[in-house]
Amino acid sequence: MSSTAAWALSHTLLAIELVATVAFALSGVIEGARKRLDAVGICMVAGLAAFGGGTVRDVLLDRRPLFWVEHAGWVWVLMAVCMAAMLFMRTQHLEPTERAMQWPDALGLGLFTASGTQIALDVGMPAVVAVILGMVTAVFGGVLRDVVCNEIPRAFSDHRPYAMCSFAGGWVMVLGHTASWPQWAALLAAAGTATLLRAAALHLDWRLPAWQAGGEPKP
């Protein structure tokens, strides 16, 4: 890869992770507000949602410094987003709802899927491992957010495809990488696939079967 292409890829990944971080932070703010946490609690939940998945990915890849440590300014961005979102919801008298949280969460899911899979491919991971690490990047922050808020993680319990959307988006990233697509095109295709699949699952109420006592899956 030429130095110009490497520079462009680096900055594209940086932009995608920044937007994904803000999107997941907003989902954390809304969830924290729903649980009536104080300002510190809301910022902590937003931080877990925004940084949790990427941190797990970096630890598994032995990648140092962690992405939010390398770009420490993102912590300030996170706090600014939290304060601005809380102020906006208060001044507009908006009631935080689960539905409102789902849309920034879907955007963050797609963007983190693309960036996480690309980072894993860049360090030479096999395709299936790269896709799983992309899925970890996209899903684990939301899992931490829900666990801290005393919820069974929605990724496992709301029965609408979530991790599967990320898994599909990761394979689009692998396809683009194998077919030598322009990196920006592969990243956008992967992010768009995961986000649109999740949005369709929410809008059309696609459901996965739930397990019932007695061994019979619920239709």
Query: Per-residue pLDDT for the chain (219 aa), expressed as one digit of tens each?
Result: 555 555 555 677 888 888 999 999 999 999 999 899 999 999 999 999 999 999 999 999 999 999 899 888 889 999 999 999 999 888 887 777 777 888 898 999 999 999 999 999 999 999 999 999 999 999 999 999 999 999 989 888 888 999 999 999 999 999 999 999 998 899 999 999 999 999 999 999 898 887 776 555 555
| HEC profile of the chain | CCHHHHHHHHHHHHHHHHHHHHHHHHHHHHHHHHCCCCHHHHHHHHHHHHHHHHHHHHHHCCCCCCHHHHCCHHHHHHHHHHHHHHHHHHHCCCCCCHHHHHHHHHHHHHHHHHHHHHHHHHCCCCHHHHHHHHHHHHHHHHHHHHHHCCCCCHHHHCCCCCHHHHHHHHHHHHHHHHCCCCHHHHHHHHHHHHHHHHHHHHHHCCCCCEECCCCCEEC
Strand partners, 217: 211
pTM confidence score: 0.86
The full set of domain ranges for the chain reads 3-205
Q: Give me the residues paired with residue 218 across strands.
A: 210
Around Cβ 127, how many Cβ atoms within 10 Å?
17
